[in-house]
A = this chain, B = another copy of it.
Amino acid sequence: MSEIKTVTIVGASGYAGGEFLRLALQHPYLEVQQVTSRTYAGQPVHFVHPNLRGATNLKFTTPEALEPTDVLVLALPHGVAAREFERYQGLAPLIIDLSADFRLKDLGLYERFYGAPHPRPDLLERFAYANPEINRAEILAKPYLAGAGCTATATLLGLYPLFAEGVLLPKPVFVTVLVGSSAAGAQATPASHHPERAGSLRVYKATGHRHTAEVLEYLPGRPEVHLTAIASERVRGILMTAQAFLPDGYSERDVWAAYRAVYGEAPFIRIVKQKKGVHRYPDPKVLEGTNYCDIGFELEPDTGRLVVISALDNLVKGTAGHALQALNLKLGWPETLGLTYTGLHP
């Protein structure tokens, strides 16, 4: 069938690469060609990803063994894709980089948040920031995709329509994100040791979280956004709350209108706002494994304070899922292809 595209994942033993692999294996039009891992080269995929036992017989190879492919996914540590880009660019016409290397166009923001000048500014114009809900045109136009940050995605999806439609004051917006432990990657560290991390609630980035740069770059009008990040007990999932103020004369109706205007056709955005019941607002628990970003809000009538709440699975909608969604768009496939899993309850 002419529709089938081959895909190769570099760094597939990590959590981002492993998640793209999982999604690709269940995608009707993708065929996984190669997966690489220096650490686990020669081992079958299920040695690292036990969920994929029986779903594939692939073994990890080294990056040196890469062959040409239709879609090349790079899931490498920060800085590696930029540094070694020449190694990869001849291998595939379509490259998806899941790192932070090509997300920002604003070189000043990059330097401010990453502490050094961008190593390869010449490559930036080839990449589209792969947030399909707010950046579809660029995704269709550019040859490559830069996967967005998970925390940035949760924040942007919650706030973008409000700023796009002028519903929030551009005064300081205060964001608090609760992030699951998988967002820090597959490498064991003293802080990730189960006896230390289990049950902890730790502020891990009170100020200066790097994903803030994406939020600043992609929110319309560049409002003043402050972000504090807390490590939660969950393995997967982000819960974002933002607090800001509506302009005088604006009401809940305007908030609804803004979300409808921007997300009216978005298949993976659900507004969750109920007066009653257990599940009144977004909760990352019910989103495990799904590509949804659930969004809710609450307005404090006497102060005009708006609390925006968003939730997603950091590895799916926050990483591999939106990248696949963007790939679907680029290749002219249905946007939701391979991404329709609904999640579990309870």
**Minimum distance in angstroms from A48 CB to a CB of chain B:** 8
Q: A115 to chain B: which residues have CB within 8 Å?
A: none
Chain B residues within 8 Å of A241, by CB = 176, 203, 206, 228, 230
Once bound together, how far apart are the Cα atoms of A283 and B197, in whole Å?
A: 10
Q: Which A residues fall within an 8 A CB radius of B? A: 15, 18, 22, 25-26, 46-55, 172, 174, 176, 178, 180-182, 186-203, 206-208, 226, 228, 230, 232-237, 239, 241, 243, 270, 272, 274, 277-286, 288-290, 292, 294, 296-300, 303, 305, 307, 309, 311, 340-346
- Besides A48-B345, A182-B195, 9 more A-B contacts (Cβ < 8 Å) are A15-B346, A51-B290, A172-B305, A182-B346, A203-B307, A206-B281, A207-B307, A226-B243, A232-B233
**Which 7 pairs from chain A and chain B are nearest by CB?**
A206-B298, A195-B346, A207-B300, A50-B279, A194-B197, A188-B193, A51-B343
Known: A176-B176, A198-B235. Contact between A345 and B203, CB under 8 A?
no
Residue from A47, A296, A305 whose CB has the most chain B CB atoms within 10 Å: A305
A131 CB to nearest chain B CB (Å): 20
Query: Which residues does chain B contribute within 8 Å of A243, judged by CB atoms?
Result: 174, 176, 226, 228
Cβ of B270 and Cβ of A53 under 8 Å apart? yes
Chain B residues lying within 8 Å of A25, measured Cβ to Cβ, are 342
A317–chain B nearest beta-carbon distance, Å: 13
| Assembly CA distance A196 to B53 (angstroms) | 16
A50 to B340 Cα, complex, angstroms? 15
- Interchain CB contact (< 8 A) of A344 among B288, B292, B345: B288
Q: Which residue of B lies closest to A43 (CB)?
A: B277
Chain B, Cβ-Cβ closest to A294:
B53
How far apart sit A307 and B342, CA to CA, in the bound complex (Å)? 36
Whether the Cβ atoms of A193 and B195 lie closer than 8 Å is no
Closest residue of chain B to A227 (Cβ to Cβ) is B243
